[in-house]
């Protein structure tokens, strides 16, 4: 069963709770402003338009094969029919609301919506959020562009085993600010070198024990920043791998 959550979130609001829905494609939008009824002999006056950022919204929908031209192929450990496209609101580095997309396994859509609703409520910034197919499935190029993404049918870094990304149960968030760092302290991306140590301050940075780590932990996801030796500060996954 997929989950759909749509709610208005204001900065500093309490912890939101995900609620199930019966359809993958159902979502809500804010009501349109209503006009004030006119009294006898008076003209009606439109109500003022709402101001401020839009409320958080999320839509979960099925994935068509042609939406994953590079990230999925026959032989992947999860069939594309078991994946879902999550279109959701996120807060950008430019302090504005944006709409992004993630592909994840259908069993974890509720986790993703719950966490990203919290992040949006906190106005925690994300640089951009596109499917890795925008980079022809190239993980290096997606990371170099500081792109937040999830599903990609590929092996784990430095291994012949499938990555949790290949199961649709992992996500990389702000990979420039949260790089993959080897045990020796090096990173493959020049634009990420100043973020190779933790803790470090900066927009979109994930640090040990912070609210982003705790938000994922509440839904059973583990952070790669807690790995021994190699650290993967961008990486959150359902089973920790």
Can you give the pLDDT at residue 42? 52
Can you give the pLDDT at residue 51? 81
Can you tell me whether residue 96 is helix, strand or coil? coil
| Contact present, 109 and 3 (Cβ < 8 Å) | yes
**Whole-prediction pTM:** 0.78
Nearest to 156 by CA among 147, 166, 146: 166
Can you give the pLDDT at residue 217? 97
| Cα distance between residue 16 and residue 7, in whole Å | 9
| Cα distance between residue 148 and residue 238, in whole Å | 16
Q: Which residues contact 49 (CB under 8 A, 6 or more apart)?
A: 33
Give per-10-residue mean pLDDT for the chain (241 aa).
Answer: 40 40 39 42 56 94 97 97 98 98 98 98 98 97 97 88 96 98 93 94 97 98 96 92 66
Task: State residue 141 phi and psi, 5-degree precision.
Answer: -65, -40
- Sheet containing 235-237, strands listed edge to edge, beginning at the edge strand earlier in sequence: 170-172, 235-237, 222-223
Query: Dihedral, CA atoms, 109, 94, 209, 166, nearest 10 degrees?
Result: 40
């Amino acid at each position: 069963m997929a989950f759909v959550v749509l709610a208005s979130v204001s900065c500093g609001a309490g912890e939101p709770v995900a609620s199930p829905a019966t359809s993958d494609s159902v979502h809500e939008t804010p009501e349109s402003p209503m006009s004030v009824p006119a009294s006898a002999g008076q003209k009606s006056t439109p109500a003022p338009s709402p101001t401020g950022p839009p409320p958080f919204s999320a839509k979960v929908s099925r994935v068509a094969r042609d939406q994953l031209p590079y990230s999925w192929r026959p032989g992947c450990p999860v069939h594309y029919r078991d994946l879902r496209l999550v279109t959701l609101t996120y807060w950008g580095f430019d302090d504005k609301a944006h709409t992004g997309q993630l592909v994840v396994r259908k069993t974890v859509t509720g986790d993703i919506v719950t966490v990203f609703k919290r992040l949006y409520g906190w106005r925690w910034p994300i640089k951009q959020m596109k499917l890795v197919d925008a980079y022809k499935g190239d993980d290096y190029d997606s990371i170099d562009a500081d792109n937040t993404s999830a599903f990609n049918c590929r092996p784990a870094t430095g291994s012949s085993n499938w990555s949790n990304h290949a199961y649709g149960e992992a996500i990389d968030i702000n990979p420039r600010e949260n790089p993959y760092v080897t045990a020796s302290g090096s990173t493959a991306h020049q634009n990420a070198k100043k973020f190779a140590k933790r803790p470090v301050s900066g927009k979109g940075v994930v640090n040990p024990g912070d609210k982003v780590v705790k938000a994922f932990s509440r839904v059973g996801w583990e952070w790669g920043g807690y790995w021994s030796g190699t650290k993967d500060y961008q990486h959150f996954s359902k089973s920790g791998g």
